[in-house]
Amino acid sequence: MTGALGLACGMDASEVPSAAGPVVGTACATVAAGGGWWNQTFADQGRRFHVELDATPSASPIDAVIGLATRKAGDLAQLGAIARFSPAGTIDVRTGAGYGADVSWPYQAGVPVHLRLDVNVAAHSYSVWVRNSFGGYTALARDYLFGTEQAGAAQLGDVASKVDSATGAV
């Protein structure tokens, strides 16, 4: 598998409500296979919040993850909420020890995908939405559980990405 996934500038990680106000980062990056993990911290969030970002895979299929962690991630087990551009050519979501999706959402090389992750840290769950061609959102996954290793996370404060394909980038 080959490819890249580009993360667009203007990532927004906002807690609703938030004592510290919304958190906006400049997450403009291309994460390449073999290049390790890409991380960007944001103010720790311990309640409900959401993260929105655009991701563009350079190939299909690709195996790439974008997720949220308590701190700088260097391993998949450190991510609580995960959206994955799967080798099957669809976007899926981590739930406990596996991956799934409520709907099948194919992706294409070079076509940006706008993702919204609505996170409930206290419940250790999250929902993932994909912006559809009509400008609205389609629920990809609702109330999925954090990855097993992060089932007890009290806060999240990092967005991370990694390409597991032999070549490519995200």
Kindly report the three-state secondary structure assignment for every residue of 47-90: CEEEEEEEEEECCCCCCEEEEEECCCCCCHHHEEEEEEECCCCE
* Top-level class of domain 5-163: mainly beta
User: Does the pLDDT of residue 143 top 60, yes or no?
Assistant: yes
Q: Which residue has the higher pLDDT, 25 or 29?
A: 29
User: Does the pLDDT of residue 6 top 90, yes or no?
Assistant: no
Looking at residue 3, its pLDDT comes to 41
Tell me the pTM. 0.87
Q: Give the model confidence (pLDDT) of 30-87 as tens digits.
A: 888 888 999 999 899 999 999 999 999 988 999 999 999 999 999 999 999 999 999 9
The H-or-E segment that residue 148 falls in is: none
Looking at residue 34, its pLDDT comes to 85
